[in-house]
A and B are shown apart, each in its own frame.
Chain A
């Protein structure tokens, strides 16, 4: 016996800072399909009901991190969120903290670049890079550990899920701390813990974290943010006690 498909109501917080359009909720009704994701539902809305609806996507597979948004109040990726896991009314809002482009689209790239510059999240080495030389060998376990932290797709969900960062926007957030943890692991990066302390050794860095763990719980990639932040805290306190 077949059941009729659900009619979903997507309640979208719409706005357009460029056109001066004030934030307001707008409802769109779509028929739920088998295995439908929010990305598919939003695409249908844009194609049939609201061509001006703004939302970002690239990969549609949870890899690019473009479609981060607040789904029923929780940060998540629209392309990974199945509509069947939600009620018939789903509220969608843009991620907070980031610069709003319009509707569900935010400029995470600008924020991420600012954080990368601030925390100097690149390999620091005094050696002159030789682009033709074979890279030094690395133990597979170490490479795996670095890769584990490098899986961050910079979607911004951890930023939106962090109560500390919402209160204090100068806080580097889990994404910044995770990147420091990643470069600290990398033997090609010659920075010491003292150097990392200068980047995150205050209340805008690792000591500002209140261990609310919203970041860890909303990360769509399941990064070990809880353990990495605790690890960094121990290392940075060790520097502070020297």
Chain B
């Protein structure tokens, strides 16, 4: 590849080489064969960890949406799901701390992912402005999507933390009436509405970018695959936003209907779910 240097037509002794206008990661004098220091393996591990934590959270998000949307089937269905996670099937009676443990794990991964992702944020006003102008000038779809991913991620620092902290400290208050009261009487619905949009958009973009980043599903025609991934991303967003909105509406309706008895715990109408049977 010496040709690529020669074809620049530049003399070999340009004074400001090796990296014009840029800070090289390693001084060239240190990169000569035999003189190079072994580079840390941590950047590789952190990069992988960011992806793995993101994948874990996205998969949890999918499962979580199906769990909470069981309210659309019936109050008993959601009650059964909620009690299932209290592991009465294991301990003989409901143990809300089990939910706290699960939430604690998710919260830990959430914080870890946020910390890792922050490395990619613009680190100064100059970087922010440069990227913002670049995005506006280039009008490139994936560059624009990353900007959305950035801001939805930023919003999740706060929205997600509030939700997770509530579930962590009050695991026993997950149930048809309990959740509906929290959403309506506890005025959490605006936060959940914002959280829904932020998390679903961020999650779908994250999964899409994850596939591109690691070359998953590339196949013989990566360009075609990328188009299909974009369609899948949009379908993911639309489906889970739709499901989430309908589910949130169901909780709001239930909360309004139950506002007079807010605070009253739900008692299942059918004695047959796991928690009661045990």
Residues of A within 8 A of B (CB): 70, 73-74, 96-97, 99, 107, 109-118, 120-124, 154, 161, 163, 166-170, 179, 182-183, 197-199, 201-205, 207, 209-214, 217-218, 224, 226-227, 230-231, 233-234, 236-237, 239-242
Q: How far is the CA of A121 from the CA of B3 in the complex (A)?
A: 10
* Cβ contact within 8 Å between A117 and B19: yes
Q: Does B139 contact A (CB under 8 A)?
A: yes
Could you list 7 A-B pairs, sorted by A, with CB under 8 Å?
A163-B134, A183-B1, A204-B25, A210-B209, A226-B212, A239-B44, A240-B47
Question: Chain A contacts of B33 at CB under 8 A?
Answer: 124
Query: Shortest CB–CB separation between residue A135 and chain B, in angstroms?
Result: 15
Q: Which of the residues A124, A170, A199, A241 comes within 8 Å of B48, measured between beta carbons?
A: A241
Q: How far is the CA of A110 from the CA of B134 in the complex (A)?
A: 23
Q: Does B271 contact A (CB under 8 A)?
A: no
* Cβ contact within 8 Å between A118 and B122: no
Q: How far is the CA of A123 from the CA of B4 in the complex (A)?
A: 12
Q: B residues 179-211 with Cβ under 8 Å of A?
A: 209
We find that the number of chain B residues with CB closer than 8 angstroms to chain A is: 58
Q: Does B90 contact A (CB under 8 A)?
A: no
Residues of B within 8 A of A (CB): 1-2, 4-5, 7-10, 14, 17-26, 28, 31, 33, 36-48, 119-120, 122, 127, 130-131, 134-135, 137-140, 142-143, 146, 209, 212-215, 218, 222, 226
Q: How far is the CA of A169 from the CA of B24 in the complex (A)?
A: 10
Q: Which of the residues A124, A210, A227 comes within 8 Å of B215, measured between beta carbons?
A: A227
- List the 9 closest pairs (A to B, CB-CB), nearest first: A240-B44, A230-B215, A109-B8, A117-B18, A73-B137, A114-B19, A207-B47, A240-B41, A211-B213
**Chain B: CB-nearest residue to A204:** B25
Given contacts A166-B130, A210-B146, are A111 and B209 in contact (CB under 8 A)? no
Question: Chain A contacts of B214 at CB under 8 A?
Answer: 230, 233-234
* Cβ contact within 8 Å between B48 and A217: no
Question: Chain A contacts of B10 at CB under 8 A?
Answer: 109-110, 113
Given contacts A112-B4, A114-B20, A227-B218, are A167 and B122 in contact (CB under 8 A)? yes
